[in-house]
């Protein structure tokens, strides 16, 4: 299995690399063929986050994330989440086959956060006080752009992918209708699906 590790806000560590390579062996027993893992380790103010994304050969993704005050513990917990998902969906994962139709390409823009505004004294003249409000209404600036592939699949596969990535929503191309759909988690614990129509 190919493992790519990215260290953010921390120095690269051979000890963590070796630990990850050793622990990743736990999930190999669930995979019939080698796959690719991308690991992002982030340390910030005593919070250590391990974000592990496993890309399977059939196009599915499995994700595990955990944050704690100890990076080794975060890695263990993130891998435990992945292991549980792989065990739960083992048969469905092995039988899943990518759709023969090509993926839909979309552009993903990251917008800047809301700009901070200085405190406005109510005693200031209206024209001066209104300036920050006018600036806040200006369009957000795009800070980065990337291309994403949205894979064709049926609804059941999309729901499984939503669970495997532990996400709030999952975007996919409905293989039956060839339209863009979104499955999402509802607040009542059930799932919803949004279908686009042409």
Q: What is the pLDDT of residues 35-70, one digit of tens each?
A: 788 999 999 888 999 999 988 776 778 889 999 999
Q: According to the model, what pLDDT value does residue 34 have?
A: 59
Across 85-98, average pLDDT? 70
Cα 99 to Cα 154: distance, rounded to the nearest angstrom = 9
Least confident of 104-118, 148-162, 177-191: 104-118
pLDDT of 75 over the 90 cut: yes
Please, which pLDDT band fits residue 93 given cuts at 50, 70 and 90?
Answer: low
CB-based contacts of 38, cutoff 8 Å, min separation 6: 4, 6, 52, 53, 55
The answer, as to whether pTM is greater than 0.75, is: no
H or E element, residue 165: helix 155-165
Strands (E), 9-154: 36-44, 47-55, 61-68, 104-111, 142-150, 152-153
Residue in the structure block whose two tokens are 């299995």:
1
Between 7 and 116, name the one with better pLDDT. Answer: 7
pLDDT of 100 over the 70 cut: no
Across 160-169, average pLDDT? 82
Between 120 and 40, name the one with better pLDDT. Answer: 40
Is the Cβ–Cβ distance between 81 and 66 less than 8 Å?
A: yes
Between 106 and 52, name the one with better pLDDT. Answer: 52
Cα 114 to Cα 81: distance, rounded to the nearest angstrom = 33
Domains parsed from the chain with CATH numbers: 2-95 (3.30.160.100), 109-145 (no CATH), 151-195 (3.30.505.50)
Q: According to the model, what pLDDT value does residue 119 have?
A: 46
Mean pLDDT (the chain) is 80
DSSP sequence for 110-121: EEPPPPP-----
CB-based contacts of 157, cutoff 8 Å, min separation 6: 96, 172
Is the Cβ–Cβ distance between 19 and 78 less than 8 Å?
A: no
Tell me the backbone φ, ψ of residue 162, rounded to 5 degrees: -60, -45
Cα 21 to Cα 1: distance, rounded to the nearest angstrom = 9
pLDDT of 92 over the 60 cut: yes
What the block records as the tokens of 86 is: 């792989």
């Amino acid at each position: 299995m190919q493992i790519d590790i990215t260290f953010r806000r921390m120095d690269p560590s051979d000890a963590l690399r070796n630990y990850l390579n050793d622990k990743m062996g736990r999930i190999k027993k669930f995979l019939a063929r080698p796959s690719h893992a991308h690991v992002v380790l982030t340390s910030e103010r005593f919070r250590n986050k391990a974000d592990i994304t496993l890309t399977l050969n059939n196009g599915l993704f499995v994700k595990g994330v955990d944050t704690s005050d100890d990076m080794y513990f975060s890695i263990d917990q993130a891998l435990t989440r992945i292991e549980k998902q792989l065990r739960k969906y083992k048969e469905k994962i092995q039988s899943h086959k990518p759709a023969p139709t090509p993926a839909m390409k979309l552009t993903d823009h990251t917008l800047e956060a809301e700009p901070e505004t200085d405190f406005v004294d109510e005693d200031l003249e209206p024209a001066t006080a209104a300036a920050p409000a006018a600036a806040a209404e200006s369009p957000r600036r795009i800070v980065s752009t990337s291309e994403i592939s949205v894979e064709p699949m049926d609804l059941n596969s999309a729901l499984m992918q939503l669970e495997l990535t532990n996400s709030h929503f999952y975007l996919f191309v409905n293989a039956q209708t060839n339209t863009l759909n979104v499955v999402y988690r509802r607040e009542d614990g059930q799932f919803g699906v949004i279908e686009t129509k042409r």
